């Protein structure tokens, strides 16, 4: 009798739980639909393709700007590469300069914001659609993007606010308002406000909820299905413990996490490549041939070019303006030095890490072309890997598994670290935009940090497709505002560059004796 009663009660509980779950799902779906309808026009505008093509105009906006800055500054990314490394090593660093973090810590913090899931899943999608040739265009766009970072991060330091307690605040919102006023150009304040709003939205969405959501997906894929709020709560607790200490605390963590996760991921990729060393020449042949012929991929040359440029732009965020906020905190009295340091960022993010992902996929042989459809599929199980991040991760994971069966677990650790590091960096970006709008102060900062951590839990627990789309669009709307400002302010950067190089050649600027 007790058993029957228990079964009946269990049945009622199951029905009630199912009803609650169904109702929650229905509410979530309704919220998604309402939000998608409200924000759809903005999202569609930002990611709209150029007429008659599938090439998003926002990618062209970023690539054209990067090309202009490359030419305007005389291919600075190649000329200053060696000096950039010397600066990161601390050869010219004076610990008495204003600022909160070292050149290396500023670079690590900015890198932690860009080195993320796009390097793993996004590259796989690009290679899945555009073929190996997408890698060539991805590298080219990464090299061009180095000039954009150089421009925005120099301005970030030049126009930052330095406070009596030693803290600083900088970024596009400051060089827009102060730089435009200095040049007597109207509209700087309006651009700064617009940038700050987009930055906060992007930080809460793409820099937070998306990361938590994808990290939970990876963890639950290994440990089995469980509520997302648990992952969110763990992440939120750890993130808050780091960000409550400000940029110095964030920098101390990123200077350890970023090199570790970079070496872990690149090291694992190198093992796969070395295990297939006899195919390395063939793989590079596929990359170069595919870049100019398309190797039969849908869209051919244009398809490979679009996917490569898109992935590079979405991965390293050159021109978006986010990195200028992190680099502004550096200890230096020469703004141009941080421009030099920042140009290493797209090189590491895109030219090294993204290329490693693409090379592993190409060289491992897990990707073959379906002769019937002309689309790339996974060789091991025939699953199409051309659209969406899930298939992208599956393609990368399958490529890593060709080395050792347990390599996908290493990949999962990398994904978790990438998501965590992205969240703490974007918390700082959002915070500085928040304090620009609402004023500096410990209470103001604490409010944003709590809001940010609440959104970590929401992101891990909910299915928020339209919210993520909107926040991604907000991040690239930052680029529209930021690059507009860079065009007006790039003569100031050139003046700084000429002054610094003259003093460096004359010996006025010397290496600092530590």
pLDDT category of residue 334 using cuts at 50, 70 and 90: confident
Is 190 domain-assigned? yes
The DSSP annotation for 338-396 comes to HHHHHTHHHIIIIIIIIHHHHHHHHHHT-EEE-TTT--EEETTT--B-SSSHHHHHHHH
State how far the alpha carbon of 315 is from the alpha carbons of 82, 104, 307, 395, 435, in Å. Answer: 24, 20, 12, 18, 26
Indicate the length of the chain as a whole number.
514
What CATH number does the domain containing 173 carry?
Answer: 1.20.1740
Q: pLDDT value at position 366?
A: 64
Confidence of residue 35 (pLDDT cuts 50, 70, 90): low
Judge contact between 119 and 357, C-beta under 8 A: yes
Q: What is the pTM for the complete model shown?
A: 0.82
3-state helix, strand, coil in the chain (%, to 5): 75, 5, 20
Residue 487 lies in a domain: yes
CA distance 317 to 323: 8
Task: Read off the pLDDT of residues 166-209 as tens digits, 9 standing for 90 and up.
Answer: 778 889 999 999 999 999 889 999 999 999 999 998 898 878 88
Q: Tens of pLDDT along 38-54?
A: 677 888 888 888 887 77
Residue 333 in any domain: the answer is: yes
Buried (b) or exposed (e) across 63-99, using 16+ Cβ within 10 A? bebbbbbbebbeebbeebeebbebbbeeebbeeeeeb
pLDDT, average across residues 103-111 = 80
Report the domain count for the chain: 1
Per-residue model confidence as pLDDT tens digits over 207-236:
888 888 878 877 887 777 788 888 889 999
Least confident interval from 93-97, 284-288, 456-460: 93-97
Mean pLDDT, range 401-430, rounded to an integer: 81
Range of lowest pLDDT (6-15, 107-116, 377-386, 505-514): 377-386
pLDDT tens string 245-258? 877 788 788 878 87
| Cα distance between residue 483 and residue 66, in whole Å | 10
Any domain includes 42: no
In a domain, 32, yes or no: no
Which domain covers residue 436, as residue numbers? 48-505
**Average pLDDT estimate for 130-147:** 86
Inter-residue contact 215 to 207 (CB < 8 Å) = no
Q: How confident is the model at residue 498 (pLDDT cuts 50, 70, 90)?
A: very high
| Dihedral-angle region of residue 184 (phi above 0 means left; psi in -120 to 50 means alpha; beta otherwise) | left
Residue 174 inside a domain? The answer is yes
Q: Choose from 217-226, 270-279, 372-381, 481-490 the range with maximum mean pLDDT.
A: 481-490
| Model confidence at 441: pLDDT above 70 | yes
Does 268 reside within a domain? Answer: yes
Q: What is the pLDDT of residue 487?
A: 96
Question: 15 in a domain, yes or no?
Answer: no
pLDDT over threshold 90, residue 401 = no
Q: How confident is the model at residue 419 (pLDDT cuts 50, 70, 90)?
A: confident
What is the DSSP code string of 409-476? HHHHHHHHHHHHHHHHHHHHHHHHHHHHHH---HHHHHHHHHHHHHHHHHHHHS--HHHHHHHHHHHH
Q: Which residue has the tokens 């399958």?
A: 398
């Amino acid at each position: 009798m007790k058993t029957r009663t228990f079964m009946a009660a269990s049945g009622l509980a199951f029905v009630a739980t199912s009803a609650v779950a169904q109702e929650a799902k229905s509410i979530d779906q309704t919220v998604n639909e309402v939000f998608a309808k409200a924000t759809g026009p903005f999202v569609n505008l930002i990611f709209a393709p150029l007429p008659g093509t599938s090439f998003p105009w926002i990618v062209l906006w970023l690539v054209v700007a990067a090309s202009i800055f490359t030419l305007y500054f005389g291919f600075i990314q190649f000329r200053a590469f060696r000096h950039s490394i010397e600066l990161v090593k601390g050869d010219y660093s004076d610990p008495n300069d204003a600022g909160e973090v070292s050149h290396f810590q500023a670079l690590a913090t900015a890198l932690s914001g860009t080195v993320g899931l796009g390097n793993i899943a996004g590259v796989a999608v690009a290679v899945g659609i555009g073929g190996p040739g997408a890698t060539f265009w991805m590298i080219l766009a990464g090299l061009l993007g180095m000039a954009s970072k150089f421009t925005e991060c120099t301005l970030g330091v030049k126009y930052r606010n330095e406070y009596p307690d030693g803290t600083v605040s900088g970024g596009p919102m400051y060089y827009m308002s102060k730089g435009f006023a200095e040049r007597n150009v109207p509209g700087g304040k309006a651009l700064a406000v617009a940038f700050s709003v987009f930055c906060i939205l992007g930080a809460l969405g793409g820099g937070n909820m998306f990361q938590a959501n994808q990290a939970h997906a990876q963890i639950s894929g290994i440990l089995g299905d469980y509520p997302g709020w648990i992952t969110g709560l763990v992440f939120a607790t750890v993130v808050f413990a780091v960000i409550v200490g400000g940029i110095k605390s964030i920098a101390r963590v990123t200077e350890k996490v970023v090199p570790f996760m970079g070496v872990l991921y690149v090291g694992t990729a190198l093992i796969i490549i070395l295990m297939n060393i006899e195919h390395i020449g063939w793989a590079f042949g596929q990359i170069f041939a595919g870049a100019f012929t398309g190797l039969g991929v849908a869209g051919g040359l244009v398809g490979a070019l679009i996917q490569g440029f898109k992935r590079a732009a979405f991965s390293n965020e050159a021109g978006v303006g986010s990195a200028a906020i992190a680099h502004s905190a550096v200890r230096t009295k020469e703004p141009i030095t941080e421009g030099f340091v920042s140009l290493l960022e797209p090189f590491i993010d895109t030219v090294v890490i993204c290329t490693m992902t693409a090379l592993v996929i190409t060289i491992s042989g897990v990707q073959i072309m379906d002769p019937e459809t002309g689309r790339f599929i996974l060789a091991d199980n025939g699953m199409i890997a051309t659209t969406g991040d899930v298939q992208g991760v599956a393609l990368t994971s399958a490529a890593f598994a060709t080395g050792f069966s347990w390599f996908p677990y290493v990949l999962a650790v990398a994904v978790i670290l990438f998501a965590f590091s992205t969240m703490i960096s974007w918390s700082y970006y959002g915070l500085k935009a928040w304090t620009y709008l609402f004023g500096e102060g410990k209470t103001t900062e604490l409010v944003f940090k709590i809001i940010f951590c609440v959104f970590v839990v929401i992101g891990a627990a909910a299915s928020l497709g339209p919210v993520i789309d909107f926040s991604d669009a907000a991040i690239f709307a930052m680029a529209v505002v930021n690059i507009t400002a860079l065009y007006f302010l790039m003569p100031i950067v050139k003046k700084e560059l000429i002054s610094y190089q003259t003093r460096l050649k004359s010996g006025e600027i010397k290496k600092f004796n530590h």
